[in-house]
Amino acid sequence: MKHNKPNTGEATMDTRRIANRLAAFGLASSLALVTGTALAIPFIQCPGDDLKSDGVTPGHDAVPEPTSPNYDPSVKCMHLIAGDGYVRMADGREVYIFGFGDVTGVDEDKVMSQGMLHATFPAPRIVLEEGQKFYLTLTNVGMVMRPDLFDPHTVHFHGFPNASTIFDGVPDNSISINMGSSLTYFYNIVEPGTYMYHCHVEAAEHMQMGMLGNLYVHAAQDRLPDGTTFANGFVHHTGNHYAYDDQDGSTRYDVEYPIQIGSFDVEFHDADENVQPLPFADMKDDYGMLNGRGYPDTVDPNPVTPPTKNGNFPSQVEDSRIVAKQGQRILLRISNLNVTRFYTLRTLGLDMEVIGQGARQLRGPDPDGNGPLLGKNVYYKTNSVTLGGGEAIDVIIDTTGVPPGKYFLYTTNLHYLSNNQEDYGGMMTEIIIN
């Protein structure tokens, strides 16, 4: 919601409104006719992705071509849109969202038409490797259902140590992206851990509306040569994965699952869809979710029944079912990105060991300050973890000796074990030990 109108002319707003209406009816190609010279083609910056295609991925699409002279295997590119869409809650209700969608690999002149009304929730998962150079292009395709809005969007990589504020996505001290425009963010991925990302424009609104995603970075220690031996005697073997560059194997895991705590206030979403004043101070969430779904949808490996309001586009593609073989170590990358409250997640019958918090391994300082001695690991075991908005933790569940069966990860904010007026649902998922 904007409180101040920028100095756009009436004519500009009219053409934009018409263009949006046309786009809503699937006539996105008419956008060019209506907006004339104002039409912006998404501009992708991705080293190694050039117009001289190798024929595998024709066009300019944020996919580096191995045959390009600029190809660098350490470069990763993604292309997201920011816009709007719909999701379906576990009780069947269709809810309007703002959000991000993945258009990586889509030729740049098709991005506007493919991105409109195609936001997903949560936002597309971003998985990175420590040492990568990450180029993230964001194209603002506008909000089809809110043609009166001219909101910009950004990506804020929460917790990331940016070298400068320019790519931080906080609009007050960096730049944000207007409708029809694109910006490529650059990140030098120097630290592993569990992060998250969200839009930082009018954050209370845009985050409540769904511009929230899972983001984590795999440790470089995973990729050391087989048999690498550390001064303390720890030996790395190929195939072992670690949450952090721990140098002692204590954060080793076999399977990993991102779990994003979230919740929606459906009154707020309806007000936004229907161009009503937004109840900021009265925000009260009524759908508790993990990875954008309430139980039992949390354990459905398929996209949930897509909402009809955006043409059955599958806008919730992530489940949160946790599966492991007995004896495996499960890494849960838990983040909380809701706007309104703290949530507690609990396991029943399984210990959680908290090994990281805020994208940092829980370890004290190196005793003599110059290695190779390691600080003391200050991990702790618990059955419940409590996170406020913007917090992330890394938890390992060791299933050694755990009887096979079905276990639960659920909130102890018990009134959120519901899908609004439907009981027995909400913020809960299953841990299956085979």
Q: Which stretch binds Cu ion (CB under 5 A): 11-19, 62-70, 178-186, 203-211?
A: 203-211
Tokens 């117009």, located at residue = 51
Q: Least separation, in Å, of the C-beta of 82 and Cu ion? A: 6
Closest CB to Cu ion among residues 77, 138: 138
CB-hemisphere CA count at 13 Å for 155? 32
Residues of span 3-62 touching Cu ion by CB under 5 A: none
Residues of span 208-227 touching Cu ion by CB under 5 A: 211
Greatest CA separation found in the chain?
71
DSSP of 97-114, one letter per residue? Answer: EEEEEE-TTS-GGGHHHH
In a 3-state reduction of DSSP, which class is residue 86?
strand
Q: Least separation, in Å, of the C-beta of 140 and Cu ion? A: 8
- When asked if residue 396 is in the footprint of Cu ion (CB under 5 A), the reply is no
Q: Shortest CA distance to 329 belongs to which of 407, 242, 253?
A: 253
Residue closest to Cu ion when measured from CB atoms: 199
Q: Least separation, in Å, of the C-beta of 272 and Cu ion? A: 12
Q: Least separation, in Å, of the C-beta of 124 and Cu ion? A: 15
d(CA 413, CA 430): 17
Closest CB to Cu ion among residues 206, 293: 206
- When asked if residue 433 is in the footprint of Cu ion (CB under 5 A), the reply is no
How many residues of this chain interact with Cu ion, rule: CB under 5 A? 5
Closest CB to Cu ion among residues 209, 330: 209
Q: Least separation, in Å, of the C-beta of 278 and Cu ion? A: 14
- DSSP 8-class letter at 162: -
Q: Least separation, in Å, of the C-beta of 392 and Cu ion? A: 21
Q: Which stretch binds Cu ion (CB under 5 A): 45-53, 84-92, 204-212, 275-283?
A: 204-212
d(CA 101, CA 28): 17
Q: What is the CA radius of gyration of the chain?
A: 22
Q: Least separation, in Å, of the C-beta of 98 and Cu ion? A: 6
d(CA 379, CA 366): 16
Number of H helices, E strands in the chain: 5, 24
- When asked if residue 206 is in the footprint of Cu ion (CB under 5 A), the reply is yes
217 class by beta-carbon count within 10 Å (0-12 exposed, 13-18 middle, 19+ buried):
buried
Task: Find the length of the chain.
Answer: 434
Q: Shortest CA distance to 419 belongs to which of 292, 240, 315, 277?
A: 292
- When asked if residue 93 is in the footprint of Cu ion (CB under 5 A), the reply is no
Closest CB to Cu ion among residues 76, 206: 206
Q: Least separation, in Å, of the C-beta of 243 and Cu ion? A: 30
Q: Least separation, in Å, of the C-beta of 206 and Cu ion? A: 4
In a 3-state reduction of DSSP, which class is residue 269?
helix
Q: Least separation, in Å, of the C-beta of 275 and Cu ion? A: 17
Q: Which stretch binds Cu ion (CB under 5 A): 148-156, 231-239, 292-300, 411-419?
A: 148-156
d(CA 207, CA 210): 5
Closest CB to Cu ion among residues 206, 252: 206
Q: Least separation, in Å, of the C-beta of 176 and Cu ion? A: 8
Closest CB to Cu ion among residues 79, 252: 79
Closest CB to Cu ion among residues 182, 347: 182
Closest CB to Cu ion among residues 315, 320: 315
d(CA 301, CA 190): 33
Q: Shortest CA distance to 160 belongs to which of 186, 189, 201, 183?
A: 189
Closest CB to Cu ion among residues 60, 206: 206
d(CA 250, CA 257): 18
Tokens 């720890």, located at residue = 234
Closest CB to Cu ion among residues 153, 363: 153
d(CA 89, CA 315): 11
- DSSP 8-class letter at 180: T
Residues of span 173-202 touching Cu ion by CB under 5 A: 199, 201
Q: Which stretch binds Cu ion (CB under 5 A): 129-137, 207-215, 281-289, 354-362?
A: 207-215
Closest CB to Cu ion among residues 200, 252: 200
- When asked if residue 153 is in the footprint of Cu ion (CB under 5 A), the reply is yes
List Cβ<8 Å contacts ≥24 apart for 33-39: 35/180, 38/12, 38/180, 39/180
Q: Shortest CA distance to 119 belongs to which of 356, 309, 328?
A: 309
Tokens of 149: 């809005």
Q: Least separation, in Å, of the C-beta of 160 and Cu ion? A: 18
Closest CB to Cu ion among residues 201, 215: 201
The residues binding Cu ion (CB under 5 A) are: 153, 199, 201, 206, 211
